A and B are shown apart, each in its own frame.
Chain A
Amino acid sequence: MKQQRGKLGIREYVSIAIMMVGLKATEETPARLYNMAQNAAWMIPLLSAVFFFIPLFLLIKTMSLFKGENLFYVVQKLLGRYFGFFVCLVIFVLSSFAFSFDTRDYSNIIRAFYFNTTPLLVLFAILMTICAYGAKKGIQHIGSVSYLIIFYVIISFIVALLLSTQDSNIQALLPIWGAGKLAILKQSSQRISMFAEFFMLTMLVPYLKSNKEFRKGTWIAYFCVSIQTSVATLFFICLMDQSLGGMGYPFHTTIRYISLGSYIPNIEIFFFVIWIMGVFIRFAAFLYIIALMFGHIFKIKDFEYLIPLLATLYLLIGNMPNNPIEVAQELKPLIGTISGPVFSAIALLLWLSALLKGEFKHAKNKNSM
């Protein structure tokens, strides 16, 4: 029985986007940021957001020329059949690796903090199974679920951060410029991969009601996420100061650290449950988008059937690195440093080719007619 495909509402889209990017504040990102800019790390998300704003803005502008078409269609339309195919393939491969290592990274977190004796493969496989099931249900349903729980995710995140202020020290923020203004600027430009998911989210344009809604939703989510990451980093710096740099996963350390008064010393489980639900949804959406890309590149219409297959493949790829350090210190930064600039370059390239081809003029003429 095939269910009729509905549209993705703006609420659902925004919550997917927030889940996909916002959850980065709960992995090792804040620690990486601290290593780059010391106690001015909280400025980096904001500055990178400003930097990535330009390619994203141009990309969305270019996308709006092709009403209701996804990124890959636009790429192939503007860059030609062969070069377009190549570019699509690059995007697909990059996001595939990003997905594999991200899921592995999250499984590492679960194992390190909550299930030390469980084999990693079991945790990883459960994560993949649930994501595959969710992705198979389709993006509308992923959106619905993420909308159902987004409020709890945000509230629990805020509560965790507020509880951490019991022991935090605001003076840790000083000196305000940390490693120096120039260093911050330089590092911010390198961390634009933080928002790379927004680039991938443009695959979802056909599922939304209109380009306008997509644009609106993207900017709302973009704003929320950059503020959220920055604020989270700020709280972590206040709580942990110097030691943040040597820490694996500050969010999880924080929720283990905080307590509700002296009687209930450990409340990490409450946060963990909500966090893990967010993680499932994040990767379900991620997996769906990758399958969508794959289906588009190789012209497979019912790409939903590929999702279990792709999930298994990514499970195997993600399982290859030997230890968590390798994932968090080498592979993820590697993918990050490649994907950020590449995605921005593609966005610029698309805009330029649209400009040179005169697509903007065409659109204008069409509108005036």
Chain B
Amino acid sequence: MKKSFLKPLRNLFKTEPQFYEQSNQQRIHLKEQDISSHYEQNLETFKSIFSIPKNFDVKIHDFTIRALNRRAFLLYISTMVDLEQIRKNIFGPLIESNQPIREIQEIVTFPIERTSTQIGEITETITSGFTALIIDGDPQCYLFGTSKVQGRSIEKSDNEVIVRGAKEAFNEKLVDNISLIRKKIKNENLIIEAHVVSKRSRNDVLIVYEQDLVNDELLKTIKDKLESLNTDSIIDLSILEQYLEERPRSLFPTILNTERPDRAVSFIEEGHIILLMSNSPNCLVLPATFWALFHSPEDHYLRTPYGNFIRLLRFMALFISMFSSSFYIAITNYHVGMIPPDLLMAMAGTRERVPFPSIIEILMMELAFELIREAGLRVPSPIGPTIGIVGALILGQAAVQANIISPIVIIVIALSGLSSFIISDTSMNFAIRLCRFLFIFAAGFMGIYGMGALMVLGLFYLVSIKSFGVPYFAPMTPHFSSGRDLIIRPVPMNQRLRPGYLKPKDMVKQRKD
């Protein structure tokens, strides 16, 4: 009702600006055609499509195949192919071989990936590192999978550091990422499906799942969602994540983004779906609940009591980082009676010469802490240590001596800042840090009552969030059968079930004999 009322108003103010665009109708039409039977014309076509003299790394070799005694040309992008292979196995045999053979397959010593006739398709494959061979009088174009892109090798995981367990992380090469997953799940039911999500850059997205586990409806929802994206380019998985989320403006993340293949695999084994993308050193796990974002792989690798210990620690850290500063404000402003008298005297003594109300103090320090944190992240590593010195010395020691803040505030902020590092997921970490500010304002406004109110409001909001149809706090509430791996984790032998909210085809991980 609200929307329909506002719509004419909005239309009045919001008009699409006029653009003067160049039509590429001619080019689209050209791409739909098949290659011509005239050799010269083909040469011209591809030269114009790839802007040959201008585009310096696109190479075209015009030569004669001795065995067939026909003219032909090879077309590839030299920075994306294995030049050695082309020279030795394709170009060499074609020029040198002089036995009268009719078949191209028999001349070259490199397998032909496929053949094609459509110009558009040939162009697409060349741009992804293939080599095209077009022969005079042959209606087909031969395509060789010669792609070899440069990139980083597999390295240690930087952002999700753990002590025990596999150390390797995804990198920017899709092939490496898939092999990292494949080597952990040796099962033919592991399906890796490719999807093209954008129109201009043609970014590939791989959907990875186990077909005898995954819920078909969920899979279809995700595929439909990917299909419905209508954009020119999505350069990174993190941007795709924002496209996919149901509530992109929400403070809380609903998709898990991880760079650890072992973690991705553990989710695939439970029936989740993983998205991979070229040029992104991470993967998306869909759907993700609060618990998936809250857990760390370390919890599972450590022995049960130790794993649970760090989990409880993390749970505590969550509360401390969210509430410590707001609790300080609430207590010092509204509920002074809570503080033991001796401590109250000490605090009042140190605060005596500070001219600001405590909420300003806290906000200043929180802001300073966030600044140091952000600066520490962006600063080039050689001058990194300076940040620590500046942060600790200037903002801590000197601010107290200058009577801008009281020492207890430093303790409170340090505690909340430190605890916030324990939440390892980047998005969750941000969510907690932003919520902290909301709680500070609520506490400043209405003390502990405001905090309680905001907490309940937040909980109401959180339980209503859904990630691809899965409630945020599932399987705790609403209840689903699961491995009961929530706040406390049982021993692995007792985690018999896969999470019920995914409705996997195979529910039981370990059957009882």
Do B476 and A148 touch across chains, with their CB atoms under 8 A apart? yes
A266 to B447 Cα, complex, angstroms: 16
Among A110, A141, A148, A266, contact of B449 (Cβ-Cβ < 8 Å) = A110
Do A141 and B447 touch across chains, with their CB atoms under 8 A apart? no
Binding site secondary structure of chain A: helix
Q: A9-B479, A126-B453, A140-B478 are in contact. Are A114 and B448 (CB under 8 A)?
A: yes
A110 to B477 Cα, complex, angstroms: 30
CB-CB contacts of B341-357 with A at 8 A, as 1s and 0s? 10000000000000000
Do A264 and B340 touch across chains, with their CB atoms under 8 A apart? yes
Say how far B380's CB is from chain A's closest CB, in angstroms. 44
Do A141 and B452 touch across chains, with their CB atoms under 8 A apart? no
Do A273 and B457 touch across chains, with their CB atoms under 8 A apart? no
Do A3 and B464 touch across chains, with their CB atoms under 8 A apart? yes
How many chain B residues touch A (CB < 8 A): the figure is: 32
Q: A114-B449, A272-B448 are in contact. Are A133 and B457 (CB under 8 A)?
A: yes
Give the residues from 447 to 488 in chain B that come closer than 8 angstroms, CB to CB, to chain A.
447-453, 455-457, 459-461, 463-464, 466, 469, 471, 473, 476-479
Say how far B118's CB is from chain A's closest CB, in angstroms. 41
Q: A115-B447, A263-B340, A266-B337 are in contact. Are A141 and B464 (CB under 8 A)?
A: yes
Do B448 and A134 touch across chains, with their CB atoms under 8 A apart? no
Say how far B326's CB is from chain A's closest CB, in angstroms. 11
Say how far A280's CB is from chain B's closest CB, in angstroms. 4
Give the residues from 232 to 271 in chain B that come closer than 8 angstroms, CB to CB, to chain A.
none
Give the residues in chain B near A130, CB-CB below 8 Å. 453, 456-457
Say how far A16's CB is from chain B's closest CB, in angstroms. 12
Give the residues in chain A near B450, CB-CB below 8 Å. 126
B334 at the interface (CB under 8 A from A): yes
A320 to B471 Cα, complex, angstroms: 40
Most buried by A among B453, B464, B477: B477
Q: A114-B448, A115-B449, A123-B449 are in contact. Are A144 and B478 (CB under 8 A)?
A: yes
Give the residues from 56 to 71 in chain B that come closer than 8 angstroms, CB to CB, to chain A.
none
Among B338, B469, B478, contact of A12 (Cβ-Cβ < 8 Å) = B478
Give the residues from 328 to 375 in chain B that come closer than 8 angstroms, CB to CB, to chain A.
330-331, 334-335, 337-338, 340-341
Say how far A130's CB is from chain B's closest CB, in angstroms. 5
List the B residue with the shortest CB-CB distance to A265.
B340
A281 at the interface (CB under 8 A from B): yes
Among B331, B335, B451, B461, contact of A114 (Cβ-Cβ < 8 Å) = B335
A145 at the interface (CB under 8 A from B): yes
B446 at the interface (CB under 8 A from A): yes
Say how far A282's CB is from chain B's closest CB, in angstroms. 11
Give the residues in chain A near B463, CB-CB below 8 Å. 137, 141, 144-145, 148
Among B330, B341, B459, B466, contact of A149 (Cβ-Cβ < 8 Å) = B459
List the B residue with the shortest CB-CB distance to A272.
B448
CB-CB contacts of A120-154 with B at 8 A, as 1s and 0s? 00110011001001100110111111011100000
Give the residues in chain B near A176, CB-CB below 8 Å. none
Give the residues in chain B near A281, CB-CB below 8 Å. 456
A170 at the interface (CB under 8 A from B): no
Give the residues from 251 to 282 in chain A that come closer than 8 angstroms, CB to CB, to chain B.
263-269, 272-273, 276-277, 280-281
Of the A-B pairs whose beta carbons lie under 8 Å apart in the complex, a sample of 16, sorted by A's number, is: A123-B449, A126-B450, A134-B457, A137-B463, A137-B464, A143-B477, A144-B473, A145-B456, A147-B476, A148-B463, A149-B459, A272-B452, A273-B448, A273-B452, A273-B455, A280-B456
What 6 A-B pairs have minimum CB-CB distances, sorted nearest first? A144-B463, A276-B452, A144-B477, A280-B456, A147-B477, A145-B459
